[in-house]
A and B are shown apart, each in its own frame.
Chain A
Amino acid sequence: MKQDAIMDDNTPFVTADGRQIGGVMMDLRNITLRFGGVEAIKSISFNIREGEIRAIIGPNGAGKSSMLNVISGFYKPQEGEVYFRGTKRPPMKPYQVARQGVARTFQNIALFEGMSVLDNIMTGRMGHIKSNMLVQAIWAGKAQREEDESREAVERIIDFLQIQAIRKTPVGRLPYGLKKRVELARALAAEPDLLLLDEPMAGMNVEEKEDMSRFILDVNDEFGTTIALIEHDMGVVMDLSDRVVVMDYGRKIGDGTPDEVRNNQEVIDAYLGVAHD
């Protein structure tokens, strides 16, 4: 997984375990995000390459989730630019970003508790349904065809994530670990190019973490999906990711392969706790 030389250029290469890493997919340049007087993100730049697993780590309150929200279009940074596949992204609503091929999961599970697993995952197909509300209401040809296609896509994901046994179960009755998996399924149903995972393993036991790690690697491997994830479990981050961005108090204090980041003095200080000015 880890490669020796990290290239910030656009040269595609193949990792030691045979995955294709392409050029820069998303380039974030000098992003600054303020809430009133508070600077949550202070002029941060980094990029995400096609096909890689990119981790964002940092202590609590470092601005990681804010960063993810900037990428997904939920927050609009006061300064800086987002380049997606080489073109500058104009200010966008989250749904417009989603249409560009970006899907996400949430730190606090955001599923429809009363709906079945299947229906929840189907909602992830929204962006792929083109027929209008009237056509859907009368269940005309196109609507039916689209739903069939969506159902098939969803069933493949259910099979992929091995949740066949809970297909018809209301989400509210599921344990935490499975809910997280359903959320991942819903994000995958959108067939994203870039998948944002906000603490996919928070609150899980070791076995659930192992399962989730396996699924994240498999998603990346089988579908070629680019993944950006926030995670606190250092073991998981170091094992899964190709490159890591480290944030602390809204600043970027490290960026590189897991090994480079591990040996970065500033990162060590941030985690072990050194007095800030």
Chain B
Amino acid sequence: MTGQNQPDSPKSVPQLLARNASIHRDKPAYREKEFGIWQSWTWRETAAEIEALALGLLDLGVNAGDHVAISGRNRPALYWSMVAVQSVGAVPVPLYQDAVVEEMTYVLDNCNARFVIAGDQEQVDKIIEAQQTVHGIEHVIYFDTRGMRKYDHSEITSFADIQNEGRAAKARLSKELDARRDALGYDNTCVMLYTSGTTGRPKGVVLSNRNVIETSKNTSDFDHLNAGEETLAYLPMAWVGDFIFSIGQAYWSAFCVNCPESADTMNADLREIGPTYFFAPPAIFEGHLTQVMIRMEDASRFKRWMFAYFMDHAKTVGPKLLDGESVGALDRLIHKLGKYLVYGPLKNRLGMSRVRVGYTAGEAIGPELFDFYRSLGINLKQLYGQTEATVFITQQPDGEVRSDTVGVPSPGVELKIAENGEVFYRSPGTFVEYFGNPESTSSTKDPEGWVATGDAGFIEETSGHLRIIDRIKDVSKMADGSLFAPKYIENKLKFYPNILEAVVFGAGRDRCTAFINIDLTAVGNWAERNNIAYSSYQELSQHPQVLDTVLSHVNAVNESVAEDEMLAGCQVHRFLVLHKELDADDGEMTRTRKVRRAVIAEKFNDLIDALYDGSDTIYTETEVTYEDGRKGQIKATLDIRDAAVVAKAKAAA
């Protein structure tokens, strides 16, 4: 499967584009909803747009090897920008569009970006602010012209103008463009992506054309992706997953990438497009399920009964049907009826009627959540990966899907587990280096090409699937020497719709404690239903009944944890519900919503002390950062609750 390529097989994304433009000429490559209508571009039109931009970039003076930052929401023009930048031999560096100025400044400075392509005025403003400290940026190109008329245009130009200049300069520059495109090979850099980094500063991961194309080819084969697939591009363009799904695999398989009208219309656009290949982090699936459940509570009694009956049936039969196991004739009949009455309409509502291959990754997904989608007949699978691997390390094959594993090694990937339980991999997708950081590169990737994932896990002997326990640096010992794996407990807590985030402490201590974040959608709806008035998130979070509910969840988790001999010591003894949501703007989470333990432990050390010193309440003041960068203080008195702990029942059996 590792793919011995034919000699003429494309060796770069621009070469893939040329191939698609000649083979799939009039098939749609991109769609975007604008002015209420889906506009579309065929592969041929796409190639023409990209060429015009590439010529414009040449005219502007972009050199081979330059870094060009790209920032904005998912729009065809910005995807074209990436490929146009590659066409002239430069390296695209997509940025997280919701990053604050300091974060952007760091990346722009770190990669010495000479040019920036920005989606709209908001992004341009951030770039201009960053230019106070970063001086390497020579020119900014913007796509959406709205509000841009009054800017000083000596160093700023619109996307359309660059394209026009490119078209005008075609006769003069097309030779140069051809030369640059032809010079691209497997060893050239395809893209540079900054890792969100749960620790320390983001690092620029350099991925070569080999990494991207080999990985895209292997994984497209794995799931039999073809030119007929439809995807919705809505996840951040700076995230490696979007790059692989919306560029790597999309160009390899020549399928169509659809861009939503705006972030707010995502769900409606999803329904209209009906993607066949869909990726979402667990949070998105969870959000959808919460919406469905809330709406069902408002439905008539008969509909509620029908929903409950058929969903129960689907839970027993649905996954079996998906995995191709045999099912009795009566069950099959009821399932068919359910398809017309419940599953079909529900899938349509979710925009997942046509999903043939669905993936979730990034965080562990709750078994109930996972089973809900599987039982509807949606082929939802898990994959495990990271930026340094060009996404794919392991993934679940059709018919071997479970919520507690992350699947078998992807084609071409070798796995090994170190003494301490850390997972290592080696693959065609293994990254080239961290940009300008040889020490980090060599500490992550050994000379033989093995990369440390930083995750602890093991390979299940019966199935050959990989199971991940936790981050290796987070796995540690408690005071009495028993294993402490916080993520494991946190995930169990987060599987309750009322709990959005949890942070468990206990390394080196005699018992575990936890911070909980409530989910405002679920708890707010519950409060509305029970006539509980509240004026703020903070007030709701400290409501006695909310605390009681959370307590019942913590107790239930303790019970289930106690069953696992290895982790029975990790039961949560005391907890509190935080008065604010953990937020990336405050540095408490990464942009991909992973908790930063060290930051939280330092910021809320007074609260942790209170969890261990036995006090019932604690007064605290916390600094918060608003979306526009201003800072404020919130003050709160938090209740601390004791949870029921199940005694270690080792001897019982």
Contact among A159, A167, A221 for B34, CB-based, below 8 A: A159
CB-defined contacts of A159 to chain B, threshold 8 Å: 34-35
Cα separation A167 to B265 with both chains bound (whole Å):
10
* In contact, A165 and B146 (Cβ under 8 angstroms): no
Cα separation A222 to B144 with both chains bound (whole Å):
13
Cα separation A276 to B35 with both chains bound (whole Å):
54
Of A151, A165, A167, chain B has the most CB atoms within 10 Å of the CB of A165
Cα separation A247 to B265 with both chains bound (whole Å):
44
As a 0/1 sequence over residues 147 to 173 of chain A, the CB contacts with chain B under 8 angstroms (1 = contact) are 000011001101110101101000000
For residue A18, CB closer than 8 A to chain B, the reply is yes
A23–chain B nearest beta-carbon distance, Å: 22
B364–chain A nearest beta-carbon distance, Å: 31
CB-defined contacts of A164 to chain B, threshold 8 Å: 36, 261-262, 264-265
* In contact, A165 and B268 (Cβ under 8 angstroms): yes
* In contact, A221 and B147 (Cβ under 8 angstroms): yes
As a 0/1 sequence over residues 91 to 110 of chain A, the CB contacts with chain B under 8 angstroms (1 = contact) are 00000000000000000000
For residue B295, CB closer than 8 A to chain A, the reply is no
As a 0/1 sequence over residues 495 to 532 of chain B, the CB contacts with chain A under 8 angstroms (1 = contact) are 00000000000000000000000000000000000000
For residue A277, CB closer than 8 A to chain B, the reply is no
Please provide the 7 A-B residue pairs with the shortest distance between their CB atoms, ordered closest to farther: A165-B264, A155-B35, A155-B36, A165-B265, A164-B261, A18-B150, A164-B265
Cα separation A17 to B261 with both chains bound (whole Å):
31
Cα separation A161 to B390 with both chains bound (whole Å):
39
CB-defined contacts of A156 to chain B, threshold 8 Å: 35
Selected A-B contacts with CB under 8 Å, 21 pairs = A151-B36, A152-B35, A155-B35, A155-B36, A155-B37, A156-B35, A158-B35, A159-B35, A160-B146, A164-B261, A164-B262, A165-B262, A165-B264, A165-B265, A165-B268, A167-B36, A218-B147, A221-B149, A221-B150, A222-B146, A222-B149
Cα separation A165 to B265 with both chains bound (whole Å):
5
CB-defined contacts of B261 to chain A, threshold 8 Å: 164
Cα separation A8 to B607 with both chains bound (whole Å):
64
Cα separation A151 to B36 with both chains bound (whole Å):
9
* In contact, B36 and A158 (Cβ under 8 angstroms): yes
A228–chain B nearest beta-carbon distance, Å: 23
Interface members, chain B 10-60 (any A CB < 8 Å): 34-37
B267–chain A nearest beta-carbon distance, Å: 9
Interface members, chain A 13-33 (any B CB < 8 Å): 17-18
CB-defined contacts of A162 to chain B, threshold 8 Å: 262
Chain A: CB-nearest residue to B261: A164
Cα separation A104 to B146 with both chains bound (whole Å):
24
Cα separation A156 to B265 with both chains bound (whole Å):
16
As a 0/1 sequence over residues 599 to 620 of chain B, the CB contacts with chain A under 8 angstroms (1 = contact) are 0000000000000000000000
CB-defined contacts of A165 to chain B, threshold 8 Å: 262, 264-265, 268
Of B35, B37, B147, chain A has the most CB atoms within 10 Å of the CB of B35
For this complex, into which size category does the number of interface residues on chain A fall?
Answer: 10 to 19
Cα separation A160 to B262 with both chains bound (whole Å):
12
A218–chain B nearest beta-carbon distance, Å: 6
Interface members, chain B 263-281 (any A CB < 8 Å): 264-265, 268
CB-defined contacts of A158 to chain B, threshold 8 Å: 35-36
Cα separation A163 to B565 with both chains bound (whole Å):
54
CB-defined contacts of A152 to chain B, threshold 8 Å: 35
Cα separation A156 to B262 with both chains bound (whole Å):
14
* In contact, A17 and B35 (Cβ under 8 angstroms): no
Chain B: CB-nearest residue to A156: B35
CB-defined contacts of B36 to chain A, threshold 8 Å: 151, 155, 158, 164, 167
As a 0/1 sequence over residues 121 to 139 of chain A, the CB contacts with chain B under 8 angstroms (1 = contact) are 0000000000000000000
Instruction: Enumerate chain B interface residues (CB-CB to A < 8 A).
Output: 34-37, 146-147, 149-150, 261-262, 264-265, 268
Beyond the given A165-B265, A221-B149, please list 17 additional residue pairs across the A-B interface where CB-CB is below 8 A.
A17-B150, A151-B36, A155-B35, A155-B36, A158-B36, A160-B146, A164-B36, A164-B261, A164-B262, A165-B262, A165-B264, A218-B147, A221-B147, A221-B150, A222-B146, A222-B147, A222-B149
A262–chain B nearest beta-carbon distance, Å: 26
Cα separation A166 to B567 with both chains bound (whole Å):
48
CB-defined contacts of B149 to chain A, threshold 8 Å: 18, 221-222
Chain A: CB-nearest residue to B266: A165
Cα separation A160 to B35 with both chains bound (whole Å):
10
Of A151, A156, A164, A222, chain B has the most CB atoms within 10 Å of the CB of A164
Chain A: CB-nearest residue to B627: A207
CB-defined contacts of A218 to chain B, threshold 8 Å: 146-147
Chain B: CB-nearest residue to A158: B36
A150–chain B nearest beta-carbon distance, Å: 13
Cα separation A218 to B146 with both chains bound (whole Å):
9
Chain A: CB-nearest residue to B150: A18
CB-defined contacts of A160 to chain B, threshold 8 Å: 146
Cα separation A218 to B149 with both chains bound (whole Å):
11
Cα separation A151 to B35 with both chains bound (whole Å):
9
Interface members, chain A 52-95 (any B CB < 8 Å): none
Cα separation A162 to B146 with both chains bound (whole Å):
12
Cα separation A97 to B340 with both chains bound (whole Å):
56
Cα separation A165 to B261 with both chains bound (whole Å):
9
CB-defined contacts of B262 to chain A, threshold 8 Å: 162, 164-165
CB-defined contacts of B265 to chain A, threshold 8 Å: 164-165
CB-defined contacts of B35 to chain A, threshold 8 Å: 152, 155-156, 158-159
Chain B: CB-nearest residue to A210: B628
Chain B: CB-nearest residue to A154: B36
CB-defined contacts of A221 to chain B, threshold 8 Å: 147, 149-150
A117–chain B nearest beta-carbon distance, Å: 11
Cα separation A91 to B150 with both chains bound (whole Å):
40
CB-defined contacts of B37 to chain A, threshold 8 Å: 155
Interface members, chain A 195-244 (any B CB < 8 Å): 218, 221-222
Cα separation A155 to B39 with both chains bound (whole Å):
14
CB-defined contacts of B268 to chain A, threshold 8 Å: 165
Cα separation A165 to B150 with both chains bound (whole Å):
29
CB-defined contacts of A167 to chain B, threshold 8 Å: 36
CB-defined contacts of A18 to chain B, threshold 8 Å: 149-150
Chain B: CB-nearest residue to A222: B146
CB-defined contacts of B34 to chain A, threshold 8 Å: 159
B215–chain A nearest beta-carbon distance, Å: 35
Chain A: CB-nearest residue to B267: A165
B93–chain A nearest beta-carbon distance, Å: 28
Cα separation A165 to B270 with both chains bound (whole Å):
13
Cα separation A18 to B150 with both chains bound (whole Å):
7
Chain A: CB-nearest residue to B263: A165
A70–chain B nearest beta-carbon distance, Å: 34
B624–chain A nearest beta-carbon distance, Å: 16
A93–chain B nearest beta-carbon distance, Å: 33
CB-defined contacts of B146 to chain A, threshold 8 Å: 160, 218, 222
CB-defined contacts of A222 to chain B, threshold 8 Å: 146-147, 149
B298–chain A nearest beta-carbon distance, Å: 14
Cα separation A260 to B44 with both chains bound (whole Å):
60
B261–chain A nearest beta-carbon distance, Å: 5
B519–chain A nearest beta-carbon distance, Å: 22
A73–chain B nearest beta-carbon distance, Å: 33
Cα separation A129 to B506 with both chains bound (whole Å):
71
Cα separation A160 to B264 with both chains bound (whole Å):
15
Cα separation A40 to B300 with both chains bound (whole Å):
55
A102–chain B nearest beta-carbon distance, Å: 25
B322–chain A nearest beta-carbon distance, Å: 33
Of B36, B37, B264, B268, chain A has the most CB atoms within 10 Å of the CB of B36
Cα separation A187 to B212 with both chains bound (whole Å):
50
Cα separation A214 to B262 with both chains bound (whole Å):
19
Cα separation A159 to B37 with both chains bound (whole Å):
12
Cα separation A5 to B37 with both chains bound (whole Å):
47
